[in-house]
Every structure is written in C-alpha cells, then in structure tokens.
C-alpha cells in the first residue's frame, strides 16, 4: 500500500441539466478550475450511461463486462479526479436504480443527465498522484 496526505481545497457545486454529458462536464470543470486532484459525489438522474460491472474472470488483463442504462435511472455515487498526462481523468463508481432493479458499476464512455444531476467536487491539495497505464492489467490506474 502507498499513500499521501493532503488537505481539502475549494469546494465546487455543479448542477447538470437534462441531456448534459456528465463525464464530459466533470472533465471541463476540472480543466477550467485547474483541479489536479479531487473527489466528487454525484446524485440525481441519468438517462444514458455505459457502465462496467466487473471483469468476466479474475485473470489479467481483465475483460470488462458492460451494461447500458438505456433509459432513466436514479444515480448515487462517488469518484476521483487525477491527471493523466496533464488531462483530468475521471473515475466514477455508482449505483444506478430503476424501479426494483439496481446496477452498480464504473461509469465509462457515454453519460447523459435525466432532468437534473448534482455534483459536489472537493479539491485535494498537497497530493501529487497521477493516473498511468498499468502494463499488467492494461488499465489506467492511480500512481502515488
């Protein structure tokens, strides 16, 4: 295990409107505000999204299992922002519910707000972590 200590910096509150690109807007905020490290919370509604719900097997490199939301879902989750080659990289895990069905996974690729989605972003100061491609897994992982 490796770790670093930091402290909270600015806190940003964002409201995404119907059809907004969730992941794209989080990247835009991180770029505009020059956030190199942060944590965020999301809650509200999503109409579109593509999530990874785990690997097919426990072998490396992992082969992801994909699920699409395809319709409106309630969403609650948290994620991190760290830089990969000077660009903000979002890593978000959430629970996506519709009626009696709940999916939990890592949101990737497309993501679209349904009516409204709120985000609370907390900047982390004093951390020099980055995201880099891990040769064994082929995944972009946190490097401390």
What is the CATH class of 7-143? alpha beta
Where do the structural domains in the chain lie, given as residue ranges?
7-143
How many CA atoms within 13 Å lie on the side-chain side of 20?
A: 20
Q: pLDDT category, 109, cuts 50, 70, 90? A: confident
Cα 49 to Cα 88: distance, rounded to the nearest angstrom: 20
CA 12, 108, 72, 101: dihedral to nearest 10 degrees?
-110
Residue-wise pLDDT tens digits, 29-77: 999 999 999 999 999 999 999 999 999 999 999 999 999 998 999 999 9
CA 54 to chain centre: 15
Q: pTM to 2 decimals?
A: 0.94
């Amino acid at each position: 295990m490796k770790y670093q200590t930091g402290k909270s910096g600015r806190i940003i509150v964002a409201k995404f409107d119907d059809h907004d690109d969730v992941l794209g807007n989080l990247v835009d905020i991180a770029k505009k505000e020059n956030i190199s490290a942060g944590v965020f919370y999301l809650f509200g509604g999503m109409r579109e999204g593509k999530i990874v719900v785990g690997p097919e097997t426990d072998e490396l490199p992992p082969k992801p299992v994909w699920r699409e939301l395809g319709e409106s879902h309630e969403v609650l989750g948290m994620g991190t922002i760290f830089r990969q080659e000077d660009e903000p990289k979002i890593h978000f895990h959430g629970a996506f519910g519709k009626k009696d069905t709940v999916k939990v996974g890592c949101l990737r690729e497309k993501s679209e707000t349904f009516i409204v989605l709120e985000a609370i972003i907390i900047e982390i100061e004093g951390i020099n972590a980055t995201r880099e491609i891990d040769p064994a897994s082929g995944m972009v992982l946190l490097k401390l």
